[in-house]
């Protein structure tokens, strides 16, 4: 660690910042007027005896520390690349991966700018806060401090085991990845003012499993008071069908953990903790319970019940989904509980339109989120529908055998971050409308972080969600409020997920 000079008292904001674990020095970001601080530890390395334990405090560093490069990403099975290139630019992988990154446009540590904290997706099995798509330079230029971070994934983030439950002192295990997210938000709460951010105007936002994570952060009592707005893109935990792939009960997750240990020939928790991380990663390629667990501690109940009972962390929400989620997010055709529902499913989604199933499910999930927040909470909700088709190069390749893309799962991210320029060098055929749409969407997100309301000067009016007259902001070939689309599908998924009891003759 190179030595840097301490900032003088009451100095204007610069490259050197004092946080609770020591002095750090960042570097200018690519966008003029923005500083970036890369690879700041927010928790102790979760290695050795700290593997499968809640995140522990960082050991303070005695000399100033340069934070001019990203830390390692958490161990994972790399999903490969595609033309969209979400995951093609990872740093090195390591079990020592709990790092946070900050982009700030502040001129002074007293600026008290709104804060946007990004939680990445990847099915709780892959992803990182360092992917170029998520770099916060251009979003920070909208007047917000932008934070990304890593959290433990797969078997390292969500292993439950009877011995882990016993040693926890809380009769719970698993959910270490969610506890990492809480620890990162606690770090933001303690330190973001040093970067010119306002700890009382923190918006968490994420996509896919990152949107599900936002949902979990609203549901867990551990995150109470750590954020004041919530934004979720195509991800939430309200449906039995679609990603994330369902919450597990602790007993079921413990049994999965026992099977995993037995498969390795590990006779005890101590044996598991002694195993090389790479061996665990190889063995975990089929580890299915890499998802959050209803453990009675991090998640006291299932998320739907927490919201329905008004027990969520009550904040304004901005949620939405994309019109063509299924072109890149493939899920098996679900089996319905009754022949009648199976017939309705076939009518709504013929075999040649199977990819539309997950789009309908996701639309229902996000509408349910907006509906429950406005019903059991005290704040407004705003819903969007992203239907714009990003242009692809003529020779584009995508996952699987997809030959058309549309507004696919994750298509909105590059617009939200206003990051179209990162692909300009690859001859991406962006049109004038793409640049305009990115400017509009990133402005809405920054406004919401600032005020709990996306509206602002020069932007089309975005109405708050009203269940008696539901409208969404459509991001398509124009930006405008439209009636909630695909109502027949929404009614079907409501019936599937929350069927009404049949009245008996005595009560008719």
Write down the residue that tokens 């600032």 correspond to: 450
* 8 Å CB contact between 391 and 409: no
Q: For 323-341, b where at least 16 C-beta lie within 10 A, e where not — what string? A: bbbbbbbebeebebeeeeb
**Rounded to an integer, what distance in angstroms lies between the CA atom of residue 8 and that of residue 2?**
19
Identify the active-site residue in 109, 128, 173, 208. 208
How many CB atoms are located within 10 Å of the residue 21 CB? 18
Task: Tell me if residue 78 is catalytic.
Answer: no
Q: Which of 478, 328, 474, 442 is nearest to 392 (CA)?
A: 328
Identify the active-site residue in 135, 373, 409, 443. 409
Identify the active-site residue in 325, 383, 412, 489. 325
Task: Tell me if residue 325 is catalytic.
Answer: yes
Please report which residue ranges of 169-244 form alpha helices under DSSP H: 176-191, 209-219
**Rounded to an integer, what distance in angstroms lies between the CA atom of residue 278 and that of residue 388?**
41
Task: Tell me if residue 309 is catalytic.
Answer: no
10 CB-near residues (< 8 Å, 6+ apart): none
Q: What angle do CA 281, 157, 298 make, to 5 degrees?
A: 165
Q: Crossing angle for the helix pair 487-497 and 339-348, nearest 10 degrees?
A: 160
Q: What angle do CA 441, 444, 448 make, to 5 degrees?
A: 145
- Residues taking part in catalysis: 208, 325, 409
């Amino acid at each position: 660690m190179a030595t840097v000079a301490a900032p003088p008292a009451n100095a204007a904001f610069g490259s050197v910042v004092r946080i609770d674990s020591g002095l750090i020095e960042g570097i200018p970001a690519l966008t003029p007027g923005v500083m970036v601080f890369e690879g700041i530890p927010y928790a102790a390395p979760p290695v050795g005896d700290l593997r499968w334990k809640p995140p522990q405090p960082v050991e303070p560093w005695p000399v100033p520390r340069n934070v001019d490069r990203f830390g390692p990403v958490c161990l994972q099975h790399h999903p490969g690349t595609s033309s969209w290139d979400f995951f093609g630019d990872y740093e090195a992988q390591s079990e020592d991966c709990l790092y946070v990154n900050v982009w700030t446009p502040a001129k002074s540590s007293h600026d008290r700018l709104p804060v946007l904290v990004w939680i990445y997706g990847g099915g709780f099995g892959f992803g990182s806060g360092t992917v170029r798509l998520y770099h916060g330079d251009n979003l920070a230029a909208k007047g917000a401090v932008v934070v990304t971070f890593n959290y433990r994934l797969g078997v390292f983030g969500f292993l439950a085991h009877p011995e882990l439950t016993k040693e926890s002192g809380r009769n719970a295990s698993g959910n270490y990845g969610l506890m990492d997210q809480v620890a990162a938000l606690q770090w933001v709460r303690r330190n973001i003012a040093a970067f010119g951010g306002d700890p009382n105007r923190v918006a968490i936002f994420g996509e896919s499993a990152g949107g599900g994570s936002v949902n979990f952060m609203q549901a867990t009592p551990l995150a109470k008071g750590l954020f004041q707005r919530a934004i979720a893109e195509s991800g939430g935990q309200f449906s039995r069908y679609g990603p994330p792939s369902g919450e597990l009960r602790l007993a079921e997750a413990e049994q999965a953990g026992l099977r995993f240990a037995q498969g390795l020939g590990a006779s005890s928790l101590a044996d598991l903790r002694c195993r090389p991380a790479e061996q665990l990663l190889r063995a975990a390629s089929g580890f299915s319970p890499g998802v959050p667990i209803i453990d009675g501690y991090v998640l006291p109940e299932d998320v739907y019940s927490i919201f329905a009972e008004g027990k969520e962390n009550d904040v304004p929400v901005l949620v939405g989904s994309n019109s063509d989620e299924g072109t890149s997010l493939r899920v098996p055709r679900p089996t319905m509980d009754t022949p009648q529902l199976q017939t309705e499913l076939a009518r709504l989604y013929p075999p040649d339109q199977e990819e539309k199933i997950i789009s309908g499910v996701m639309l229902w999930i996000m509408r349910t989120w907006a509906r429950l927040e406005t019903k059991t909470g005290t704040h407004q909700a705003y819903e969007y529908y992203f239907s714009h088709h990003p242009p692809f190069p003529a020779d584009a390749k995508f996952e699987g055998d997809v030959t058309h893309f549309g507004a696919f799962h994750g298509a909105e991210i590059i617009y939200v971050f206003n990051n179209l320029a990162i692909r300009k060098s690859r001859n991406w055929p962006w049109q004038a409308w793409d640049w305009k749409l990115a400017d509009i969407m990133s402005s809405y997100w920054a406004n919401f972080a600032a005020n709990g309301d996306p509206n602002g000067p020069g932007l089309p009016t975005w109405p708050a969600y009203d269940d008696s007259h539901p409208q969404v902001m459509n991001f398509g070939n124009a930006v405008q409020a439209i009636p909630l689309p695909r109502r027949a599908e929404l009614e079907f998924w409501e019936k599937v997920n929350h069927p009404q009891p049949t009245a008996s003759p005595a009560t008719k």
